[in-house]
Structure 1
Amino acid sequence: MKRSLMTVVVAAAVAGTAVVGIGVAQARSGDRPVPVAFRPGLTATLQADADALQKYGAPGVLAEVDTARGDVRVRSGYGNVAARTPVPWNAKFRIGSFTKPFVAATVLQLVGERRLALDDKVERFLPGLIRANGNDGRKITVRQLLQHTSGLPEYTNAMTDMGTAEGFQQARLRTWTSADLVGLAMQFPADFPPGEKWNYSNTNYVVASMIIEKVTGHTWQQEVRRRIVKPLGLRHTYLPGTSAVIPRPHAVGYQRFPGPGATVDDPRYGEPIDATLVNPSLAGPAGEMISTTEDADTFLRALVTGKVLRPAQLAEMQRTVDTSDELRARWPGARYGLGILWAGNSCGGYWSHGGDIPGFMTRNGVTPDGSRSVTVSINTDSLKPDPGVRLPAVDITTELIDHALCGVR
């Protein structure tokens, strides 16, 4: 079962639906001229990096670097492969687990307002919710939820009916509540006693969102919108809830299903299908949001420069713990804070939190001082490399992100 950091919906639920005709109109609408290349050297480097992702099976790529002096935006491949149309420059896309920093920041704002504490137990807010198969909310703290050290099992492991194209076709518009998702997780034993290890689990953020709702009396979406999206002027960032539609313009999101025993770079993995429409409540607070490269970069820079959190809470967010061998292989030096990842690069390191969800892959990074940020959107999270090409051990966007944050000034 695929359980990487950036995956909201693991192998049991990485799929989509064929919707005749939807891709062409949506990939073409709302495009705008290419931005002026104010730094030709950086633009050329990033363009080459984006083009290089094609060999790994990226249908289309959109990347934007945001700096105090302006932005650089490049694209490659197709937003609609059949129509051979590019990814719209201002495309909206599902950001998957990049939703988590928004949720974590909302919890931390409540901490700053003394409405809860990071060392409060889950049981204080949600009595009896976590009490099965060795999972015990009386022992799990809010900090451990945000840090992925709670030991709570992954709820998507129970979504076995979505492991085939046919199963997903039947369930792709289903609405899931937070209680539903936690109920799925409670079918499994705890991964480990709280605080003893690190293991990425989307269940943590479902529970964290329920605490937000208990403390504020509002949905987590309402609080994220009020506290972060509106104050930062993120006009193209959405919390869709149960809506399966991505606002236009957007690329077509493609998804492949595995055959028996197939790996992601195996031809038996299957041909891509249109996965654009999906009810994102299956990801909820672990990954439902939609945004743009511009808004995503704005949020990252605002987050690390103290425009979202008070200094004490930002410091807590950036206190990291060791992760796993698997994660460090993909992002060298990876350590995890509260809803944000630290990774190494050629100029020291950066903060990040990407996300995968059916049809879309988001990767990003921001320098520690917030002087530069980069967001990359790829319209699949199930890559099909060219014949003879294998996926590298590190994430395929590593070089692009490194050049964006450490390259031409």
Structure 2
Amino acid sequence: MSAFDKYLHEVIVRAAHEAQEDGSATIDAQHLLLSLAAGAGSQGSQGSQGNQGSQGSTAQQVLASVGLDRDAVREALDREFEHSLSTVGVSPVGHDLPRPSPASQQPKMGASARLALERSFASARKKDQRSEHLLLGILQAQVGTVPRALALAGIDQAELVDRVRQAAPTSGAEGHEAVQRLLQQAVAQGGLPGILAEVRDGDGQWFGTAGVADTTRPGRKRSQHDRFRIGSISKTFVATVVLQLAAEGRLSLDDTAEQWLPGVVHGHHHDGAGVDVRMLLNHTSGIFNYTDDQEALNRRETHSPESLVQIAMSHPPTFTPGSDSGSDSGSAWAYSNTNYVLAGMIVERATGRALAEEITERISRPLGLTGTYLPHGGDPVILGPHSRHYTKLFRTDPGAPVHDATEFDSSMFWAAGGMISTAGDLNRFFGALLGGRILPPDQQRDMFTTVPTRDWIPDSAYGLGVSSVRLPCGETVWGMGGALFGSWSYAYGTRDGSRMVTANVNGDWSDGGWDDPIGIFTDLLEAEFCRRRDT
């Protein structure tokens, strides 16, 4: 057993004692935090590099630097408990609420602790793991007892995370200098407000950023916690839910739109009886793209899915489904956001639940994607930590005015592009999806069966909610991209999901020789994947 393994064992043993003191049947993330704050173990952060018993681990030192020792953490957790009681109308002052008696059985590892440990292990190779990585895994949670306790204690969680990262740089940083240079060039030469990128490679993780999160606060950098609008990457989540329903026998990819949504795909030569679910997911339906009619979109402040489809039905189809494109696939192709609005409507019809709930219950919650969700209705707010989103409204001249588009009614995009996520969540999701850990084999095969694209991303092919892109060096990566007002994102990786790169810019323009942010993203992917190919 390595020195770090012994240290980890001692941390968990102490956390079990903390759980027993609470009378809890599970070890949760807050018990791990208490254990680290108490300085569990004598190996400290250095593992085999030496005993730090007299000074405590680096994790303990970082916590102490912001005034958090074991007693302070316990006090913060007690205040969080009292706050939780007050939210349900129970006053701790007027009630006798002694601590539960110690649990009679050894506590088991709870879900929040398991997720914290998983995040810890992802942040460094095993040989590089330190106490700071354990602390980082705990602090990366955006919801739950730990974030609420820190807030009640007056601790800025993002600032604390930055301190931990400074104490324990994530492993593999020496291999990403080219990516970091590109991030800096995207701001200095491309004129973007800010950019971030996260790379995951097996058990290693690297995060880089340049520029700012808020142009009115120049000192505020973009953070690994930043949530942002992911645009069409939402389509991958929707397609995954549809394929899960297909695996459960609740629908078939051969079902027609007319079967599920009678009379909806009708008008101006649209015919839902000739469009099946597979055509919706791989954009071979020919249905008009409603976002091409901005005048109609602007007539309403908010939209229902039905109103978006009605806009599309007021135009003729782009082509007749099943028509020959002249390509090897034999099928015409055109990207249409209407396809995924219809797919979302079919999910809701098949399940009887809101699409947002299906995504949360089937994907976000099981994978621990705490920063990933589809807003309900037209909710304009990005919940949780986020950078500002800036747009030039598609004007290309360098002097075009810049507008803040952080808050806007997202109902006009919904299933086609309305979701919010983080770089870490997207890497986790695509890593699991590409690695075959979300869909059964038959549905996995369906998702990654591609058709050629047209007038879209160069050198790309499209499956069911996913795409492949052949880089200039010949390497092919898989994932999806998304673009909305003020937020463009790319999430691509190897076919087995073992290596992933997610990048986001909080501006929708690009100068300095790049036509748009896609050029920057392509250069980032080439720097990461083509470099690896050559080494």
**Is the helix fraction higher in 1 or 2?**
2
- Give the C-alpha shift of residue 318 in structure 1: 0.4
Aligned residue among 372, 396, 401 for 1:265? 396
Aligned residue among 383, 390, 397 for 1:247? 383
Q: Describe how 1:317-332 pairs up with structure 2 within 5 A.
A: 317-324=447-454, 326-327=455-456, 330-332=457-459
Specify whether residues 207 and 321 from structure 1 end up closer, same or farther in structure 2 by C-alpha distance, changes over 3 A only.
same
Specify whether residues 362 and 29 from structure 1 end up closer, same or farther in structure 2 by C-alpha distance, changes over 3 A only.
farther
Cross-structure match for 2:68:
none
SS of structure 2 residue aligned to 1:407: helix
Cross-structure match for 2:406:
276
Paired residue total: 361
Q: Describe how 1:1-80 pairs up with structure 2 within 5 A.
A: 30-31=158-159, 32-33=161-162, 34=165, 36-54=169-187, 55-80=189-214
Aligned residue among 424, 440, 443 for 1:294? 424
Q: Is the 8 A contact 1:59 1:78 kept in 2?
A: yes
Match of 1:47, as an amino acid?
Q
Higher relative contact order (CA 8 A, sep 6+): 1
- Give the C-alpha shift of residue 392 in structure 1: 7.0
Q: Distance in 2 between matches of 1:342 and 1:359?
A: 24
Cα RMSD over matched residues?
2.1
Q: Does residue 371 of structure 1 match 2:498?
A: yes
- Give the C-alpha shift of residue 406 in structure 1: 4.1
Specify whether residues 99 and 294 from structure 1 end up closer, same or farther in structure 2 by C-alpha distance, changes over 3 A only.
same
Match of 2:192, as an amino acid?
A
Specify whether residues 161 and 133 from structure 1 end up closer, same or farther in structure 2 by C-alpha distance, changes over 3 A only.
closer
- Give the C-alpha shift of residue 315 in structure 1: 0.5
Q: Is the 8 A contact 1:373 1:405 kept in 2?
A: no
Cross-structure match for 1:341:
467
Q: Describe how 1:90-129 pairs up with structure 2 within 5 A.
A: 90-129=225-264
Cross-structure match for 1:21:
none
Q: Distance in 2 between matches of 1:336 and 1:376?
A: 20
Cross-structure match for 1:14:
none
Q: Is the 8 A contact 2:514 2:520 kept in 1?
A: no
Cross-structure match for 1:313:
443
SS of structure 1 residue aligned to 2:520: coil
Specify whether residues 298 and 77 from structure 1 end up closer, same or farther in structure 2 by C-alpha distance, changes over 3 A only.
same
- Give the C-alpha shift of residue 36 in structure 1: 1.0
- Give the C-alpha shift of residue 78 in structure 1: 1.2
Gaps of 5+ in 2: 1-155, 324-331
Match of 2:430, as an amino acid?
L
Gaps of 5+ in 1: 1-27, 259-263
Identical amino acids, percent of aligned pairs: 36
Specify whether residues 225 and 40 from structure 1 end up closer, same or farther in structure 2 by C-alpha distance, changes over 3 A only.
closer
SS of structure 1 residue aligned to 2:195: strand
When the two structures are superposed, what TM-score results if normalisation uses the length of structure 2?
0.64
Specify whether residues 393 and 45 from structure 1 end up closer, same or farther in structure 2 by C-alpha distance, changes over 3 A only.
closer
Q: Does residue 217 of structure 1 match 2:352?
A: yes
Q: Does residue 401 of structure 1 match 2:525?
A: yes
**4+ runs deviating over 6 angstroms:** none
- Give the C-alpha shift of residue 395 in structure 1: 2.6
- Give the C-alpha shift of residue 64 in structure 1: 0.1
SS of structure 2 residue aligned to 1:76: strand
